[in-house]
Chain A
Amino acid sequence: DSGVTQTPKHLITATGQRVTLRCSPRSGDLSVYWYQQSLDQGLQFLIQYYNGEERAKGNILERFSAQQFPDLHSELNLSSLELGDSALYFCASSVPGTRGGEQFFGPGTRLTVL
C-alpha cells in the first residue's frame, strides 16, 4: 500500500458526460501528479500540482481540468467524455524537496466510457 488513495475504483459512464476523480496524497506530500494509462499511449503525464498551485501540464486535453485543495487532496475533472477517454487514471504524490521523481502511485481509477 503506497498510502495514496483514489476514488472511485471503477467508473462507467456515457459519452458526453462529466466525471470527477479524487485523489488523496500520502501524509506530508505536497505534490500531486495525474497520469493516464491506456493501451495505445502507455503511461502519460497529465498535470502536476504543488501545494495547491499548478506546477506543470503535460498531454492534458482542454476538456480535462484539475485542482488541488487546501487539505492537499486533488480532483481531476473530465468533461464531454469520448470513447477514447476510457483508460486508467493514476494519481501519484511525492515528498517535498525530493530530488528527482520519487513518486508513489495510487491504485487508480478505471474509467469506461460507453
Chain B
Amino acid sequence: QQQVKQSPQSLIVQKGGIPIINCAYENTAFDYFPWYQQFPGKGPALLIAIRPDVSEKKEGRFTISFNKSAKQFSLHIMDSQPGDSATYFCAASMSGGATNKLIFGTGTLLAVQP
C-alpha cells in the first residue's frame, strides 16, 4: 500500500513531442505528489508538485494531471527538448503523519532525440 507504481520504464520521443509518464498509488492518505528530474551523476531536483485538491498544475512546459478517483497522476512535458533527457521520478508523501518521507516510483528514463 506504500508503493507508487511508475510507467513506462523508458521512453524515447522526438524533439517537440509530448512525453507522458504515469504513476499510480494505493494509499489514499498520500496528499502531496512531486516529480523529480535527475541527470546522471546528480541528485534528484524538484520539478513540479501537486496536491489532491486540484486536477492539473502547469509550470512552464511541465504539467501534472491528477485523477483522485483513479489514484493516478501523470507528467506531461510540452515541446520536449534534448536537454530534457533525464530520469524522471514520481513520488508521494503524507503531510499529516509524523514524517513526510517520500515514496518514490521506479523512475522513467527519457531520451529526447534531436
Interface on A for B, CB 8 Å cutoff? 2, 4, 33, 35, 42-45, 48, 55-56, 58, 90, 92, 94, 98-108
Structural contact, B51 and A100, CB atoms closer than 8 A: yes
A33: chain B residues within 8 A (beta carbon): 101-102
Structural contact, A101 and B32, CB atoms closer than 8 A: yes
Task: Please name 30 pairs of A and B residues whose Cβ atoms are closer than 8 Å in the assembled complex, sorted by A.
Answer: A33-B101, A42-B107, A43-B89, A43-B104, A45-B101, A45-B103, A55-B98, A55-B99, A56-B98, A56-B99, A56-B101, A90-B44, A92-B102, A94-B100, A99-B32, A99-B95, A100-B49, A100-B51, A101-B32, A101-B34, A101-B101, A101-B102, A102-B46, A103-B34, A103-B46, A103-B100, A105-B43, A105-B45, A105-B46, A107-B42
Interface on B for A, CB 8 Å cutoff? 31-32, 34, 36, 42-46, 49, 51, 89, 91, 93, 95, 98-107
Min CB distance A70 to B, Å, is 21
Alpha-carbon distance between A44 and B104 when the two chains are bound, in angstroms: 7
Alpha-carbon distance between A90 and B44 when the two chains are bound, in angstroms: 9
Structural contact, A48 and B99, CB atoms closer than 8 A: yes
